[in-house]
Amino acid sequence: MAEISEFRGVRYNPARVQYMQNVICPPYDVISAQEQQSLYEKNKYNMVRLELGLEQEGDNERSNRYIRARDEFNLWLKENVLIQDQVPNYYVHEHSFEIGEAKKKRLELFACVRLEPWENKIVVPHEFTMAKAKADRLDLMKACSADFSPILGLYEDPGGKINQLIVNRVKANPTYNFQTGMDYHRFWAVNEPEFVQRVSHFLIPKPIYIADGHHRYETALAYRDYRRELDPNGGGNEAFNYVMMALVSFSDPGIVILPIHRLVRAIPAETIAKFKKELHDYFEVRESSAGSMSLSASAGSIRIYGLEQGQVLGLSLLPGIKVNDFLKQKHSEAYGRLDVSAVQHIICEKLLGLPPGDSENLAYTPSGETACRMVDSGQFQCAVLLDPIPARTIKTVADSNDRMPRKSTFFYPKLPTGLVIFRTDGEI
């Protein structure tokens, strides 16, 4: 089903950049303004200068961060700070990390995947997106003709055949081997014909499920259409028909999915008072003392922290209450069983009157501790805390031809930007 290909990646030249930890950066959508500035100062070749350039006073159509990224990218290529591989490769990234007291390792295969519209069900989404983020990424791709940040995709690997092929190939001699904080990265460029053939053979019949990077995928589709308008015959192996992905097996033990908690602010006192009462019309409400319990599923699959001083409210839908009865658009049964759907449609929309995408009254964080701390500091009135969504549930919703509410999943850790770049000019 999915057309997977190796590609001639653009990478940092080790003769010019010795320490990869100084030049990679997170994907654009998790970089704060403070971190952006810090990354700029960290190294003059840090990938943030391409991925998320600083805005400047007086920016206009002829001078802006997209144009500056293009000029910087071309300069780094000219000066051999970045060099393009001579032959196509698959790239493998082994990411070792800690979460809590657990040590994890995630194995990712970097490849190019032919762009397919969602309706073909070859590449499958699981979350809704916002137009603003897509417009920003499209402007960057148009300016630079490059894909800086990989999309995280999941695939089925019954029996672990693909994973074992990769493990057997990358036991030693990585191209990159470096540490960022408590994370360890090993990276290989792989082009042996037998490996390429066997991996491609096993992956071809499988759909790819987008885990992280829905905006980037939809941006790549829009970019492909833009390039085809310029080149009406460009429906073949032109690079703009593909997108760079890091592919991970559903059964990889390093897949970690965090929930995304909701933070509520600036709600009138009378609305909050009414909200407390009306919760009982839709949920079984259990009160317990705040503390570690507020972050624990034993308090309820949905928890509200901060409505009552020193208390956490554990919520479970009352018998007979179905999320799908509150929806303006038809969704699958799998969608209706999600706690995040109940939070979105009953708590946020019906009881608090907050529309989807509300950024004035809602904020988001994958950290329960951070959410509670921000409520305690007075920045927010309450936090709605959720449990993680299993990877298999993501597949179930996607296979139902449906998507979860926006901001449902946070895949941890984020893929680094800067390990390899995909140029969208020329052919694969």
Q: What is the pLDDT of residues 313-344, one digit of tens each?
A: 999 999 999 999 999 889 999 999 999 999 99
Collapsed DSSP state (helix, strand, coil) of residue 357? coil
For residue 149, give the nearest of 224, 61, 214 by alpha carbon. Answer: 214
Distance CA 116, CA 194 (A): 27
Helix (H) or strand (E) holding 34: helix 33-42
Distance CA 178, CA 115 (A): 32
For residue 11, give the nearest of 81, 74, 69 by alpha carbon. Answer: 81
Q: What is the pLDDT of residues 191-249, one digit of tens each?
A: 999 999 999 999 988 899 999 999 999 999 999 999 999 988 888 899 999 999 999 99
DSSP codes, 82-117: EEE-SS-BEEEEEEEEEETTEEEEEEEEEEEEE---
| Beta-strand relationship, 242-249 and 151-155 | parallel
Long-range CB pairs of 324-329, under 8 A, 24+ apart, other chains included = 326/350
Burial (CB count <10 Å: 0-12, 13-18, 19+), residue 156: middle
Collapsed DSSP state (helix, strand, coil) of residue 210? strand
Distance CA 14, CA 79 (A): 13
Mean pLDDT of 143-158: 96
Amino acid, single-letter form, for residue 75: L
DSSP codes, 369-428: HHHHHHHHTTS-SEEEEEPPPPHHHHHHHHHTT--BPSS-EEEESPPPBSS-BEE-SSB-
Collapsed DSSP state (helix, strand, coil) of residue 57? coil
Residue 236's CB is within 10 A of a number of other CB atoms, namely 8
The answer to whether 287 and 385 have CB atoms below 8 angstroms apart is no
- Please give the DSSP secondary-structure letter assigned to residue 79: T
CATH for the stretch 261-407: 3.30.1760.10
- What predicted TM-score, i.e. pTM, was given to this entire model? 0.94
Distance CA 301, CA 19 (A): 44
Distance CA 61, CA 143 (A): 11
Q: What is the pLDDT of residues 154-197, one digit of tens each?
A: 999 988 999 999 999 998 899 999 999 999 999 999 999 999 99
Residue 231's CB is within 10 A of a number of other CB atoms, namely 10
Provide, rounded to the nearest whole percent, the portion of the chain with pLDDT above 70. 98
> Where does the pLDDT of residue 299 fall: very low under 50, low under 70, confident under 90, or very high at 90 and above?
low
Q: What is the pLDDT of residue 235?
A: 80
> Where does the pLDDT of residue 296 fall: very low under 50, low under 70, confident under 90, or very high at 90 and above?
low
| 236 vs 277 pLDDT, higher one | 277
Distance CA 376, CA 293 (A): 16
Domain ranges in the chain? 4-256+413-423, 261-407
